[in-house]
Structure 1
Amino acid sequence: MLLPFQTFVPRIQITEQPAERHRFRYASEHPSYIRGSKNTRECLTYPTVEIVDYFGRAKLTVYSVTEDPIPRLHPYTLSGTCEVIIGPNNPLKYCFKDLSICCITRKMLRRQHANDLDVVNLNVLRLCFEASLLTASGEVTQTLRAFSRKIYNAKKRPELIIHELSDCSSPMSGGKNITLLCDEVDKNDIQVRFSLCRSNQSEGWCGYGIFHPEADIHKKVAISFMTPPFRNQFLTQSVKVGSRCIFKTLMD
């Protein structure tokens, strides 16, 4: 039996998105490295990309771009290891462990990016991961790009704090009503997220509390929600998960 001919199209895939909040710092400050979206105190993660359906060498580059539908270079740049040669081993995967975002003063912005000040949001950016596929002699045959989700300046958009929960447990099937007290929130820009971090990504989990912004958010500081079902309904022992209040727009 003859199998149909299958072609493989190389592509770059973000296997670990950057964290949604990061402190943008000046060059004179101590750098703060960008963590991964699944990062916890017990399990440190970092932005990670992989080139799939390709065998060979590649030059991997990362730089900052604006949040626009058609991104352009962001005035704030990256420091750390922003360029690396990977391959020819498979999988072609790299974890960026020392990236930080460097902001510049208003004076320098007006001098270098005068035309961008009114149209660029300086407190949000994306990462552009660019892979240049190389021949044995080092010539570029193809360029692949992937854009991360938005990263917000933590200094301008601080983390929301959960001050109290009416209950700290829920059945695996979810559906339990819990009330939390938090900082003042925008009812149209808030989510309650539950997550489980594992070194093996397939064993991780993420779910969101179920509530209606108009009916279940009280005085902007109390949220009444139903817990989500856990991915595995047949566990015989309890599982500890983390809970956070996050801005809904950070999920874009």
Structure 2
Amino acid sequence: FFKLLSLVPPHQPVLPLVIVEEPKDRGMRFRYECEGRSAGSILGASSTHTEKTLPTIEKVNVTVSLVTKDLPHRPHPHCLVGKDCPNSTGICFVTFNPRNSRRHSFANLGIQCVRRKELDISLQKRRSLNIDPFQSEWETYGIEDMDMNSVRLCFQCELEWQDGRKDHLSPVSTKRAKNKALKITHLNLYEGPCTGKTEVYMLCDKVQKGNRKVF
């Protein structure tokens, strides 16, 4: 989640929260925690090879989180990670001043996969932080029917007035963002003898540094 806090003039008309740049479908691969701190960056739908865009909203005081792709939208166990995301929370908090700009783009924001055995733990953390944008019934649905390869970004907006009053807008969600498969860019052999002992080279894109084994 992202929480954007700021002061706005009192009695100003409350306009709906608008997503002006959707996330790119299959624009990035979800990373596991063991792959390292970096989880890439969620790109905007209009990104090209030469020009990158980012998911962008237009409003003030916004909270963003991951929810399931299907209705009813429930909190998704996968985590948002980035420079503004507190460790182990899976959510992100950002502050900006709407007097300077009413738009905010989310840079350096990635999606981190949660392993199957840790899904319940991740959702319990979300519950303890009261992160449930659409007020879903936690106990009604099981994890087994969740799509682990598709998510939506959910934005919640909190308006804080100069007199201390706070207004909450209805949450809005983006279009689906789907996990991008790891791509093999080069393989030197496609077959070999059953006796083995054949040296094979496989090159993949965006693999984190470290020891890797292929079986």
Task: Give the TM-score taking structure 1 as reference length.
Answer: 0.52
Q: Which has the higher contact order (CA 8 A, sep 6+)?
A: 2
Superposition deviation, residue 152 in structure 1: 0.6
Distance 1:120 1:64 in 2: 12
State the match for 2:159 in structure 1: 133
Distance 2:62 2:147 in 1: 26
Counting only pairs closer than 5 Å after superposition, residues 162-173 of structure 1 correspond to structure 2 as none
Distance 2:170 2:159 in 1: 8
Q: Is 1:101 matched with 2:107?
A: no
Q: Would the alpha carbon gap of residues 42 and 118 (structure 1) be closer, same or farther in structure 2, given more than 3 Å must change? A: same
Larger radius of gyration: 1
Structure 1 unmatched ranges of 5 or more: 1-6, 52-57, 159-252
Secondary structure at 2:40's aligned position in 1?
A: coil
Superposition deviation, residue 87 in structure 1: 2.8
CA RMSD of aligned residues (A): 2.8
Q: Is 1:145 matched with 2:161?
A: no
Task: Give the TM-score taking structure 2 as reference length.
Answer: 0.60
State the match for 1:71 in structure 2: 73
Count of residues in correspondence between the two structures: 147
State the match for 1:120 in structure 2: 146
Counting only pairs closer than 5 Å after superposition, residues 5-44 of structure 1 correspond to structure 2 as 8-21=13-26, 22-29=28-35, 30-44=38-52
State the match for 2:212 in structure 1: none
Q: Would the alpha carbon gap of residues 147 and 37 (structure 1) be closer, same or farther in structure 2, given more than 3 Å must change? A: same
Q: Larger strand proportion, structure 1 or 2?
A: 1
Distance 1:109 1:153 in 2: 17
Q: Is the 8 A contact 1:86 1:93 kept in 2?
A: no
Structure 2 unmatched ranges of 5 or more: 1-11, 85-91, 124-138, 184-215
1:11 partner letter: P
Q: 2:99 aligns with which of 86, 89, 92?
A: 89
Distance 1:111 1:88 in 2: 36
